[in-house]
Amino acid sequence: MFSQMLELPDHRLRLRENLLQISRAITAQLDLISVLNLVINVSVEMLAGTSGLIALYEEEDNDELRIRTSVGIPPEAWPALAPLLELPLIDPDTPREVEERILREVAASTGLRLRQVVALPLTFHNRPIGIIYVFRAALNVAFSTDDVRVLQAFADQAAIAVSNARLYQGVLREKQRLDAIIEQSADGVMILDNRWRITTFNKAMETLTGWPRNEAIGRPCAEVLGIRNMQDTPICPRDCPLQRGPHMQNPVVEGRITSRDGRERYIQSRYAPQEGPGQTFQGAIANVRDITDQKREEELQNTFVSVISHELKTPVSIIKGYAGTLRREDATWSEETLREGLRVIEEEADRLARQIQDLLDVSRLQTGWIRLELTDWSLPMLAQEVLRSFAAQTSDRFAFELRFPDDLPPIRADYERVRMVLTNLVGNAVKYSPDGGTIRIGGRAEGDIAIIYVSDQGIGIAPEEQERIFERFYRVDNRLRRTTQGTGLGLYLAKVIIKAHGGNISVSSQVGRGSRFVFTLPLARRQITVSDEK
Ligand code: ADP
């Protein structure tokens, strides 16, 4: 169309007219390659050329010129055109013979008909951004200065469009990078608009809330997150600090949420409000973190303090009470009263020592430090020793039984720690059997392991409590909780110790009928088998 126009006498005028329209169309395009394609097509037509290309200075590539688009030249031929790019064709001082020689060489090596060339810089704000090359296949009609001037006018317009498209592409890339950062963030990130509606919702938010992003986006934040306080009343929207406007410095909201799949979590949401002109609220970025574990740990610490203060204080006050009474100078005590008093003092001192040991063990285990002293020894012997110590105090209410086969092989375990486990289990059996009954320790060998149980006929444990009793500080909330002493640490420690030996501990129980704790420990013969194989 342009080649025909060139033939017309008033073609320059028409071209100018068209140029403006074309420039507008090009400037409206934001995709860089589409802009470049348009520019090169128009340039080639305008100069009645046969082929052409655009090379841009690439910032990421040391500002080297790189071909980005062409017409009439297949992309496979681009590398062979390199000598042309190295030649300062746009420099009027370049001798014509040099130009022609290079053009001939390139034409020969590519097999393209490149007889004449005109090259014009694309400049934006006095900065070169690239070069447009237009070629003709015939030698008869040379590029006139007029041609060059027209193309230069167009190139100046095109340079603006190219710059815009490049800028836009840069912004787009940056946005994609930011989107990726938000998406990959380990914390939940959501962006709210000025009506607290969600506009961005990352992967971590999906996991935390159970809401898929396509459903969450567009909804009010209060509906998706629904943070409630400890009293279970919703914080959003009424008490949300964001409602008070953008003047707050990074407000923080903490509370419970129920995820869409029914999980209860405790979260902390930090907001960065965006302020618009006249201090209007424009929206906010919220950083949402799951702090359930942290919160649980805090609660545990509080329990820890109250348990310690209560549990350790009791034996101390008993000891102090007895000691004070016994040493009163205004009273004389019979031998029997004296001995009874001292027995209680000794017993309470032992209990105190055990509790302190438990607490020490717990704090050691929290730092992941547990070293086992493994030796081979007889389990029935230990069981008998443990039962004997309890029988001495409680034989009037309990029958104690041992059930082990005679040929049970020795086990390989930390003697003192297993003694602690058994003492705790039998101690619990006694504590939680207010009406007495039979307490039994038994076991058998199965393959490489010993399976050991401690059973009682006490109050039992409800099914929903059976997992929880192995947690730190957990005590079942029943009438015995108030009347029996305990830290809720015994079973937790038992579990950690048994697990450290590679074993397992579990409970089976029926409320009102009794409980049976079963755990496993390695037999010593496992080691023997290994050395036999050598
Ligand atoms: P503690 O006995 O110091 O409270 P444990 O960790 O030993 O702590 O036990 C946790 C809870 O499990 C106890 O508070 C009790 O409610 C329950 N429990 C443990 N053993 C028995 C048992 N043999 N019978 C009934 N309930 C038990």
Domains contained in the chain, number: 4
Indicate whether 5 belongs to any domain: no
The per-residue pLDDT for range 324-367, each reduced to its tens digit, is 999 888 888 899 989 989 988 998 898 888 888 877 777 777 66
How far apart CA 273 and CA 247 sit, in angstroms, is: 8
Domain CATH for 262: 3.30.450.20
Protein residue with its CA nearest to atom 8 in ligand 1: 488
Cβ atoms 519, 421 nearer than 8 A: yes
Residue 198 lies in a domain: yes
Both 276 and 301 in one domain: the answer is: no
pLDDT confidence of residue 312: 80
Question: What's the CATH number where 404 sits?
Answer: 3.30.565.10
With 90 as the cut, is the pLDDT of residue 187 above it?
yes
Which of 237, 257, 290 is where one domain is finished? 290
Same domain? 264 vs 323: no
pLDDT above 70 as % of the chain: 90
92: exposed, middle or buried (Cβ count in 10 Å: 0-12, 13-18, 19+): exposed
Alpha-carbon distance of 114 to 81, in angstroms, equals: 11
The model's pLDDT over 243-297, given as tens digits with 9 standing for 90+, comes to: 665 566 778 889 999 999 899 999 999 988 888 888 788 888 999 999 998 888 8
The residue type at 514: G
Of 290, 311, 331, the domain-final residue: 290
Q: Which residues line ligand 1 (CB under 6 A)?
A: 424, 428-429, 432, 456, 458-461, 469, 474-476, 486-492, 515
CA dihedral 453, 454, 458, 464 (to 10 degrees): -50
For residue 296, how far is its CA from the centre of ligand 1 (angstroms)? 21
Report the SS3 class of residue 122: strand
Q: 230 C-alpha to center of ligand 1: Å?
A: 28
Encode 172-193: b = buried (16+ Cβ within 10 Å), e = exposed: eeeeeeeeeebeeeebbbbbbb
Instruction: Give mean pLDDT, residues 438-457.
Output: 96
Same domain, 389 and 510: yes
Residue 58 token pair: 């690439």
Beta strands in 72-197 (DSSP E): 116-124, 127-136, 188-192
Q: Are residue 405 and residue 463 in the same domain, yes or no? A: yes
Residue 381: its pLDDT value, please? 95
CA distance 58 to 62: 7
Between CA 143 and CA 293 the distance in angstroms is 77
Same domain, 199 and 263: yes
* The pairing of beta strand 64-71 with beta strand 374-377: unpaired
Both 241 and 337 in one domain: the answer is no
Residue 532 lies in a domain: no
Longest dimension (CA), the chain: 139
Residue 1, in any domain of the structure: no
Please state the φ and ψ torsions of residue 265, each to the nearest 5 degrees: -130, 160
The pLDDT value given to residue 157: 81
Instruction: Select the more confidently predicted residue: 26 or 506.
Output: 506
- Same domain, yes or no: 235 and 146: no
Q: Which of 356, 472, 475 to mutate to test the pocket of ligand 1 (most atoms within 8 A of CB)?
A: 475
Distance between CA atoms of 521 and 426, rounded to whole angstroms? 17
Q: How close is the Cα of 210 to the center of ligand 1, in Å?
A: 36
Q: Is residue 507 pLDDT above 90, yes or no?
A: yes
Is the model's pLDDT at 395 over the cut of 90?
no
Neighbours of 307 (CB within 10 A): 20
- Which atom belonging to ligand 1 lies closest to the Cα atom of 433? 24
Give strand pairing partners of 439. 400
- At residue 305, the 3 state secondary structure works out as helix
Q: Residue 399: in which H helix or E strand, if any?
A: strand 398-403
Report the alpha-carbon distance of residue 67 to residue 50 in Å, rounded. Answer: 17
32, 54 contact by CB (below 8 A): no
Beta partners for 173?
none
Kindly give the distance from the C-alpha atom of residue 299 to the centroid of ligand 1, in angstroms, as a whole number: 20
Number of residues that this document lists for the chain = 534
In a domain, 45, yes or no: yes
Give the CA dihedral 313, 314, 319, 322, nearest 10 degrees.
130
Q: Are residues 148 and 280 in the same domain?
A: no
Q: Hey, CA dihedral for 271, 272, 276, 280, is it positive or negative?
A: positive
Query: Do 442 and 390 reside in the same domain of the chain?
Result: yes
Q: Kindly tell me the sign of the dihedral angle through the C-alpha atoms of 163, 165, 168, 173.
A: negative
Confidence at residue 479, expressed as pLDDT on a 0 to 100 scale: 74
Same domain, 19 and 73: yes
Let me know whether 357 and 410 are in one domain.
no
Shared domain for 31 and 170, answered yes or no, is yes
Q: How confident is the model at residue 16 (pLDDT cuts 50, 70, 90)?
A: low
Most confident of 40-54, 132-146, 353-367, 455-469: 455-469
Q: Is residue 257 part of a domain?
A: yes
Best of 304, 491, 495, 509 for a ligand 1 pocket test (most atoms within 8 Å of beta carbon): 491
Residue 179 maps to a domain: no
Ligand 1 atom showing the smallest separation from residue 474 Cα: 10
Q: Cα(87)–Cα(73) distance, rounded to whole angstroms?
A: 19
Question: In this structure, what token pair is assigned to residue 119?
Answer: 């090259």
Host domain of residue 36: 11-174
Q: Which CATH number is 142's domain given?
A: 3.30.450.40
The two structure tokens encoding residue 329: 């100078």
Q: Rounded to 5 degrees, what are φ and ψ at 91? A: -85, 115
Decide if 530 is inside a domain.
no
- Are β-strands 264-275 and 281-290 bridged in parallel, bridged antiparallel, or unpaired? antiparallel
Q: Cα(289) to centroid of ligand 1, in Å? A: 34
pLDDT at position 406 is: 92
pLDDT of residue 484: 78
User: At 326, which CATH number?
Assistant: 1.10.287.130
End-to-end CA distance of the chain: 92
CB-based contact 414:501 (threshold 8 Å): yes
Q: What's residue 192's pLDDT?
A: 92
User: Of 229, 259, 290, which one is at a domain's C-terminal end?
Assistant: 290
> Counting atoms of ligand 1 from 1, which one is nearest the CA of 480?
16
Phi, psi of 298 (to 5 degrees): -60, -45
What is the position in ligand 1's atom list of the atom closest to the CA of 476? Answer: 16
Query: Residue 92's closest CA among 146, 148, 43, 150?
Result: 148
| Mean pLDDT of the 518-528 span | 80
d(CA 291, ligand 1 centre) in Å: 29
Q: Round to whole Å and give the CA distance between 534 and 531.
A: 5
CA distances (Å), origin 438, targets 173, 515, 522: 75, 11, 27
Q: Is the pLDDT of residue 17 over 50?
A: yes
